[in-house]
Structure 1
Amino acid sequence: MMIPPLTFSPSRREVLRRLSCGFGYTALAGLCGQQALAESTKGSPLTPHFPPKAKRVIFMFMVGGPSHVDTFDYKPQLQKDDGKSAPRQDVGGDRVWLKSPFKFQQHGESGLWISELFPHLAKRADNLCLLNGMHTDLPSHAQGTVLWHTGSSQFVRPSVGAWVLYGLGTENSDLPGFITLNPTSSFGGAQNYGSAFLPASFQGMRIGGGNNNSMAQAKVAHIANPKLSPSEQRRQLDLMQAINRRWLAEDAVNPELEGVIESFEMAFRMQSALPKLMDLSSETQATLDQYGIGASSKPTDNFGRQCLLARRYIEAGVRFVEISYPDWDQHTDLRSKHSANCLATDQPIAALIADLESRGLLEETLIVWGGEFGRTPGTTNSRSVNDGRDHNAQGFTMWMAGGGVKGGMSYGATDEHGYAAVDGKVHIHDLHATTLHLLGLDHEKLTYRYSGRDFRLTDVHGRVIKEILI
């Protein structure tokens, strides 16, 4: 498109008008500078602080708090003391110990204890690093979820995915660097994948709604322009670029505006790139079967789609992917509901690990699984009949796999009943510090200056769990 050269000879009135807008231009320059910083990382990964073990992350958030003593933290003493008084948990009424209704066995060469709820994942035991000494601040869903995602339960802070993207950039200029699938709409909502005071381009792109909505029907909001065809959009962007460059040549507008235009360019390219990745028709039937994808009525279909999409995204260069599954908040009906949740997630998770390993991607992809807290090994007398467990922030289990973490390892421990972490204690801040470390980022150096002070994901806390690193 040919644009005639601009002749710019301002009148006195024009000069006065421009001077009166000086403060506005100054503010715009600041905003554009931040946006340009954000856009400068698109498609051009930044240099880590040190050589990374992992290049990307898949966060698996189990909404509501899975019960560790029924899944990955075997407690023989809890089985023996079933029905006995549990004075250590005498909070809000009399409590009794409640044994797990599920059988545990050792699996793999490592001999990790895993319950019968995860028969497929048990076959991948030697890939798992169980963190059995996890603890967090509060046994509340809202605070626990936001802390899990942002490192703070009290203030609005950038999510861990936004921090990772800020530190490393993305590996694909046609795709978002951070995608979240079916995120929970409650307990923090968009804050869990937001960028807070970081540039907006570091926030996660949401695909699918909360509450386990159908991923088969999930669409990317506003991915298509209903009024303009792709060719018309391309002409529109070309015109904007041409006008922008013309003004830049006259130094009439802050040069960082180019960064803003580049964000439009990326959005235009994403219109064709992202829908192709979401189309699973190119996958073989064997792969779909492996992930448990089939009829929508199949219990593994929805979460299987999330896991397979996560693999496709990270394979295409997406830096951080979060997938989630509700609802693990079993105050009642623990046996039936935990069984249903594990039936829906066990096969897809095991398939994802196996698939990544077969493609040579597991060793550079960090997988993190867990919920905002665990559940109590005791229950109130009134709930013992309903076989339910309450919230427990004192001790629970998460696990990591791939990405520079030792497989076939159990690190840390809770007491003999599984109530509180007593050895190898790991806080959420430590988990975040370790995640960043595996990506080659020093959690104490990854800072962003805002409102007169430097902020970081781990605030003034965090210890890298060196014992679990390869």
Structure 2
Amino acid sequence: MNLTRRHFLGTAGLSVGAAALSALGAEGATAADPLAPKKPHYPAKAKRVIHLFMAGAPSQLDLFDPKPELAKLEGKPLPPSVIGGQRYAFIRPDAAVLGPQFKFAKHGRSGTPVAEVLPHLAKVVDDVCFVKSVKTDQFNHAPAQIFFNTGFGQPGRPSLGSWVLYGLGAESRELPAFVVMSTGSGISGGSANWSSGFLPTMYTGVRFRNSGDTILNVSTPPGVTADVQKDSRDLLKELNESRLAAEGDPEIATRIAAYEMAFRLQSSAPELTDLSKESKETLDLYGIKEPAKPTFARACLLARRMMERGVRFVNIYHEGWDAHSDVVGNSRKHCGETDQASAALVTDLKRRGLLDDTLVIWGGEFGRTPMVETNPALGRSLGRDHHPQAYTMWFAGGGFKPGVTYGTTDDLGFHVAENPVHVHDLQATILHLLGFDHEKLTYRYAGRDFRLTDVHGHVVKDILA
């Protein structure tokens, strides 16, 4: 009898597929139901995550981290001792200093300084934890975006959302557990930002589109009746389950789950995206004037609706913050598009009792330089270059301490002066709030155990409630 290598290994119970399925081993997962809810390592403060990713990198110096010293030095180069061996994407190290471009005021009981172009965030600062000492290893957009989302600067690793889904499973069977939305034409890092990498593809983020069908290939094709669809689905399920039993390949389980989800999405997706039952007060809170029009505000409201329906992780990407020129115009534009809805999301989750166990993340892939980048083609249109050494992010709910600011930068906003927080530290902290020891949430691939934080990362305990 001719016996293939695959058949031999499969019947021996040692196939790659069987090993991968055994690696799913968190409690509750089975080959037939790999998305079953699973218990984390210890009781979690957060059950779900909304990540508002400001792609292109907002200017922390103009929005969150006012530096009067920069105004005094405007037009002069920074001292070489400050710059050291820093590399830049587009400007010379001796570029002139650019002072803060907006007025700042302190807000809330916490007295948190916020720029004038963020009037809505100013109203919720006491619900927010600001981290002003974030650092990253990457200084170009695609690698930095992928690094924040996957812990590695090149495509191929599982994203944060995929790790969360792998570790916790799904709460809802009516909607994808990991959803991705975008308000622009594209992300520098592309789909690598929400890929499952070497994890089974069932853990990949599902992209919601801004036009046409919300999700590709969900609508019933013309001429296909409900009975034909049901019979076809039942037959495919039977064939796939038979093959899964023989092969143990987790990608077959992914295919089964995808067919089942697609069938349920035919009714759940239209219900989710229909905002007609939302009150006018809620629409006004988010700043939604045309409920059917794809905007950042609409995406934020959909994210809240997803949290209510058991979605585990939502990424919303808002592109366009890359202010190499006209940092004033760029910041006004994008703050105008995102500020109200971001603050409304925090307010709405809080009043519905969801903020305590929903983690909201806001920030970009790195910050902007204290020095100016001038584009001669645009006249004296002043911008800032990429700056990985220090930038600001904010967090709300999910176990983060509200109304606090953590970490400081030096007088020029160039280096972290106190309490540095590396991107790997944020990843470890997010997983901690979801109930995981980041060193133990692993997946065996290519002969070793991988994790989101690679071999780095420490939980930042001082910012936990």
TM-score by length of 1: 0.87
- What is the deviation of 1:271? 2.3
Larger CA deviation: 157-166 vs 222-231 = 222-231
Larger Rg: 1
- What is the deviation of 1:34? 4.3
Larger CA deviation: 173-182 vs 80-89 = 80-89
Give distance in 1, aligned partners of 2:391 and 2:348.
28
- What is the deviation of 1:93? 5.1
Residue in 2 aligned with 1:368? Answer: 361
Aligned counterpart in structure 2 of residue 420 of structure 1, from 415, 431, 437: 415
Give distance in 2, aligned partners of 1:380 and 1:240.
58
Query: Do the aligned partners of 1:368 and 1:401 also contact (CA within 8 Å) in 2?
Result: yes
Call closer, same or farther: CA 1:314–1:32 in 2, change over 3 Å: farther
Aligned counterpart in structure 2 of residue 77 of structure 1, from 45, 69, 87: 69
Q: What's the CA shift string for 1:285-342, capped at 9, x where partnerless?
A: 22111111114899xx611111001111111111000001110111111111110100
Give distance in 2, aligned partners of 1:242 and 1:394.
54
Give distance in 2, aligned partners of 1:50 and 1:75.
41
- What is the deviation of 1:85? 2.7
Aligned counterpart in structure 1 of residue 425 of structure 2, from 410, 427, 430: 430
Residue in 1 aligned with 2:313? Answer: 320
Give distance in 2, aligned partners of 1:421 and 1:432.
19
- What is the deviation of 1:243? 5.8
Query: Do the aligned partners of 1:69 and 1:377 also contact (CA within 8 Å) in 2?
Result: yes
Is residue 136 of structure 2 the alignment partner of residue 136 of structure 1? yes
Query: Do the aligned partners of 1:94 and 1:380 also contact (CA within 8 Å) in 2?
Result: no
Which one-letter code corresponds to 2:160 in the other structure?
V
- What is the deviation of 1:92? 2.0
Call closer, same or farther: CA 1:467–1:243 in 2, change over 3 Å: closer
Residue in 2 aligned with 1:455? Answer: 450
Residue in 2 aligned with 1:342? Answer: 335
Give distance in 1, aligned partners of 2:32 and 2:66.
48
Give runs of aligned pairs for residues 223-302 of structure 1, distance below 5 A. 223-226=218-221, 228-241=224-237, 253=246, 259=253, 261-295=256-290, 302=295
SS in 2 for 1:376: strand
Query: Do the aligned partners of 2:137 and 2:144 also contact (CA within 8 Å) in 1?
Result: yes
Q: What's the CA shift string for 1:182-233, capped at 9, x where partnerless?
A: 177342211110011101000000112xxxxxx3656211112315333322
Give distance in 1, aligned partners of 2:194 and 2:429.
19
Query: Do the aligned partners of 2:375 and 2:382 also contact (CA within 8 Å) in 1?
Result: no
SS in 2 for 1:58: strand
Give distance in 1, aligned partners of 2:245 and 2:334.
59
Aligned counterpart in structure 2 of residue 306 of structure 1, from 299, 302, 307: 299
Residue in 1 aligned with 2:390? Answer: 395
Call closer, same or farther: CA 1:138–1:263 in 2, change over 3 Å: closer
Larger CA deviation: 187-196 vs 273-282 = 273-282
Call closer, same or farther: CA 1:252–1:357 in 2, change over 3 Å: closer
Call closer, same or farther: CA 1:230–1:151 in 2, change over 3 Å: farther
Q: 5+ unaligned residues in a row in structure 2: which ranges?
A: 85-90
Give distance in 2, aligned partners of 1:96 and 1:41.
59
Query: Do the aligned partners of 1:42 and 1:172 also contact (CA within 8 Å) in 2?
Result: no
Which one-letter code corresponds to 1:436 in the other structure?
L
Give distance in 2, aligned partners of 1:252 and 1:439.
33
Aligned counterpart in structure 1 of residue 17 of structure 2, from 23, 31, 47: 31
Which one-letter code corresponds to 1:229 in the other structure?
T
Q: What's the CA shift string for 1:340-390, capped at 9, x where partnerless?
A: 100010111111111100100001000111111000111257779322111
Q: What's the CA shift string for 1:408-456, capped at 9, x where partnerless?
A: 1110011111111121101110110000000001100000000110000
Call closer, same or farther: CA 1:423–1:466 in 2, change over 3 Å: same
Give distance in 2, aligned partners of 1:216 and 1:244.
32
Give distance in 2, aligned partners of 1:263 and 1:272.
15
Which one-letter code corresponds to 1:60 in the other structure?
L
Is residue 53 of structure 2 the alignment partner of residue 61 of structure 1? yes
- What is the deviation of 1:467? 0.3
Give distance in 2, aligned partners of 1:264 and 1:108.
49
Call closer, same or farther: CA 1:461–1:284 in 2, change over 3 Å: same
How many residue pairs are counted as aligned between the two chains?
A: 442
Q: What is the RMSD computed on CA atoms of the aligned residues? A: 2.7
- What is the deviation of 1:105? 0.7
Residue in 2 aligned with 1:116? Answer: 116
SS in 1 for 2:362: strand
Which one-letter code corresponds to 1:156 in the other structure?
G
Query: Do the aligned partners of 2:429 and 2:458 also contact (CA within 8 Å) in 1?
Result: yes
Give distance in 1, aligned partners of 2:302 and 2:213.
12
- What is the deviation of 1:27? 5.8
Query: Do the aligned partners of 1:130 and 1:400 also contact (CA within 8 Å) in 2?
Result: yes
Query: Do the aligned partners of 1:57 and 1:319 also contact (CA within 8 Å) in 2?
Result: yes
Aligned counterpart in structure 2 of residue 411 of structure 1, from 400, 406, 411: 406
TM-score by length of 2: 0.88
Query: Do the aligned partners of 2:374 and 2:382 also contact (CA within 8 Å) in 1?
Result: no
Larger CA deviation: 418-427 vs 35-44 = 35-44
Call closer, same or farther: CA 1:109–1:169 in 2, change over 3 Å: same
Query: Do the aligned partners of 2:147 and 2:153 also contact (CA within 8 Å) in 1?
Result: yes
Call closer, same or farther: CA 1:345–1:25 in 2, change over 3 Å: farther
Q: What's the CA shift string for 1:384-409, capped at 9, x where partnerless?
A: 93221111001110111100001111
Query: Do the aligned partners of 2:374 and 2:381 also contact (CA within 8 Å) in 1?
Result: no
Which one-letter code corresponds to 1:23 in the other structure?
R
Q: Identity over the aligned pairs, expressed in percent?
A: 45
List structure 1 runs of 4+ shifted beyond 6 angstroms.
255-258, 381-384
Call closer, same or farther: CA 1:380–1:187 in 2, change over 3 Å: closer
Larger CA deviation: 123-132 vs 255-264 = 255-264
